[in-house]
Structure 1
Amino acid sequence: MSYRIPVVKVQLVRERTLHTEVLQIRCAKDAADLLQAYLEGVDREHGVVLILDTKHKVRGIQTVSIGSLDASILHPREILKVAILGNASGIILGHNHPSGDPEPSPEDEIISQRLAKACQLMGIDFLDHLILGDGGFVSLKERGLF
């Protein structure tokens, strides 16, 4: 019996560009400003990955999850898929809280810890997890939550 097995090609495709003043991430505020511009006007929780090179220049941005008003499923597998396809040296995870309150939930802390372990295994720097709210943000890295 003969079988046909598909030969596949996996690649990252440029969808559009985002005009921004931020090219290199030097601090959490740089990343928060970029994420804020990218997420402007969304009405549900979005999980986003910033793909960074060795000098922390942004090489891409990808939405990895769209949830509801108060929840979004973020899984390390989906986040790392983007990092690997983007040939990332490091990543920053960000998501918005449509409620406007950027305080991290217990689930936010758990995903940060799981992602930190997964990134370490893959040799990718997990630089931060930012939560954006009305006019502000919280850095889980700066709070020592992973």
Structure 2
Amino acid sequence: MSENDPSAAAKAVVRRNTEEVQGGGDFALFDELFADDFLDHTPQPGRTPDKAGARELYRVLREAFPDFRADIHWQAADGNLVTTYKTYHGTHRGEFFGIAPTGRSIRFDTVDAMRVRDGKISEHWGVANLFSLMQQLGALPDAV
């Protein structure tokens, strides 16, 4: 991973975010990995599309699911744009979107794309299966 291979370097930044920030709760590293002008093109409900909104989402997820972590199935990069397919896991121990803790184990798939500029995540686009997550938490009926 060197400047000679921007795709590998960009994938490493995104992997560190997934494993160490989202999975490990390292918010000091969050500040290092995210550009100050970060833009989330697909922010979650109630979150601003900036660095503060992403930090708040990560904080909420870690509080609701203290063991929150992801299995990265694959990553692909085109220059500085990294696409990752992963499955998140956790145990519902804190309030999430108004749902009181259930103690249930959850898992949901996500595909996201992150642009890395100068070693920092500068943009994000993502699709998460939140319908499945809400079903697992009992907030929506199971599919028939």
The structure whose residues are more often strand, as a share, is 2
Q: TM-score, normalised by structure 2?
A: 0.23
The structure whose residues are more often helix, as a share, is 2
